[in-house]
Amino acid sequence: MDRLMGTESEYGLAIEQTEPGELPEEARRLIAAYPDTCSGNWDYGAESPLRDLRGFRAPPMSSDPRDARYDRPARRALSPAEEHQDRLLPNGARLYHDHGHPEYSTPECRSLWELIAQERAGERIVWHCAQAYARATGRTVVIYKNNTDFHGMSYGAHENYLLGRRLPFERLSAGLMPFLVTRMLYAGAGKVGLEEESGTTAQVDYQLSQRADFFSEPVGIGTLYHRPLINTRDEPHANARRYRRLHLIVGDANLSDYALALKLGSTALVLGVLEAGYAPPVVLQDPIASLQTLSRAKWDAPNRWLLTEESGEKISALTIQRAYRLAAWELYAGRDEESDWVLAEWARVLDLLEAGSFEQLAQRLDWAAKLRLLAEFVAAEGLDWQRDRELLQSLDLAYHELDPERGLARGLEQEGRLRRLADEAAIERAISQPPGDTRAALRGECVRRFADQIESLSWGQVSLRSDGKRVILDLNDLVGRVDGRLLAERQQLRPEELAQLIADTH
């Protein structure tokens, strides 16, 4: 896709005989159960979460005050190493905990198919940690790849895309806003009902998006409270004079490979469209209201998915998506196999949405696959969407379980009712191996060969201690293609030799 991309997935965690306030401590123990070679020396000094893309340093981010209902101190004082259970893995990924959630950040990828395999590998790695934790503690653990606990709390499925600095933030924001609001048509994971504090008394049986209820402003730096559609964190993990990292928090967690690939691929192409100077096809009157209106609309209603333009005119979300897709086709048709797949499937799914081809949508998209299961259950058991909402929410959660024997999404996949893109060999390879054509190959190789010599590391730098000397591996400018075969051929590579290889590549 001609740009570095990656994802971050926060997982829902439920542990037998564990109160919500105890989950941060147990999440730390779960990450500590990772069984293979890794490095725990993450460099937090390399992070700057309050630097804003709009050119200033933001005040400290506010937390959701509802969290205080559950927060409690650890049972005992924790050492810094225990407090920050943060692992850099041989595949170049990062595994850590965010409060009470296990979290997995994929390595940087240039290939869409590689990124799908790496995210699926993250699911396996978190599940393996949960199993190790369960064996050690005797407690039953359930892991959900979703975005809500149905008690007012939300956790994220974030996306990261490397951009150049030349595109002004104002144009980036204006250009992305209508696209991000409307891509839930194919990227949403679906949800039963509304959150308790959604601000509306309307009765909604089912939504397209899990996250739509949790956003309250168009642009901002927050991620925990007062969440924005476009996050302004300026933390490039690369040369800050040349690059920025677009950190998107508005997406849902996808179990469907197809939906995930379409979400990531279409967004990458739209970023290229905006960098090429294209203007947005429409300005929405109220992006937050549009997001929530779209999510709560009945998918099969006659006037479904109509949004309000700044002028007051109505426009279909499908029309907006088609305009972005046409611009991407004009620029990228025929460029490469992955872009052509995205362009073709993007058009296909918009046509299926317009035609109301529900069964075909349910073979591809999370929200439709889950809705099919729920509707079948409601019909078979004579249930009511509102009266039996809690029961249906439990089935909603079951769709997102990582346990391959219990998770409904993975069951649909095994039955051939949900399309799969990543093959088993690619997923297993991604569990232990980084992408061979990005700087993640260098970082992963450091973990594999020099784990006991790593003093600190981050996305952009690795500090090694070799023969009493410090060797700094600067990866901040290494955002082009990397030839990972160089590493495989140099079996006796020393840290200083690796540093020289990186310098030569620069």
CA-wise closest residue to 70 among 25, 28, 27, 20: 20
Contact 295, 188 (CB under 8 A): yes
Contact 304, 319 (CB under 8 A): no
At 227, the amino acid letter reads R
Contact 183, 266 (CB under 8 A): yes
Catalytic residue among 64, 98, 286, 340: 98
DSSP 211: S
- Phi, psi (5° rounding) for residue 470? -90, 135
Element (H, E) at 462: strand 461-466
Q: How far apart are CA 362 and CA 59, in angstroms?
A: 43
Q: How far apart are CA 218 and CA 247, in angstroms?
A: 14
Task: Give catalytic status of residue 98 as yes or no.
Answer: yes
DSSP 284: B
* 218 three-class SS: strand
In whole angstroms, how far apart are CA 489 and each of 274, 474, 484? 40, 21, 9
> Angle at which helices 317-332 and 169-182 pack, to 10 degrees?
120
* 230 three-class SS: strand
Q: How far apart are CA 184 and CA 59, in angstroms?
A: 31
Contact 429, 439 (CB under 8 A): no
Q: How far apart are CA 302 and CA 138, in angstroms?
A: 52
Q: How far apart are CA 392 and CA 405, in angstroms?
A: 20
In whole angstroms, how far apart are CA 269 and each of 273, 328, 339? 6, 6, 8
Say which residue the tokens 């309050």 belong to: 50
* 131 three-class SS: helix
In whole angstroms, how far apart are CA 405 and each of 11, 47, 127, 414, 480? 18, 38, 12, 10, 40
Q: How far apart are CA 113 and CA 437, in angstroms?
A: 13
At 360, the amino acid letter reads Q
Say which residue the tokens 């967004």 belong to: 267
Contact 446, 473 (CB under 8 A): yes
Written as six digits, the tokens of 483 are: 């030839």
Residue 5 burial (10 A CB sphere; 0-12, 13-18, 19+) = buried
Catalytic residues: 98
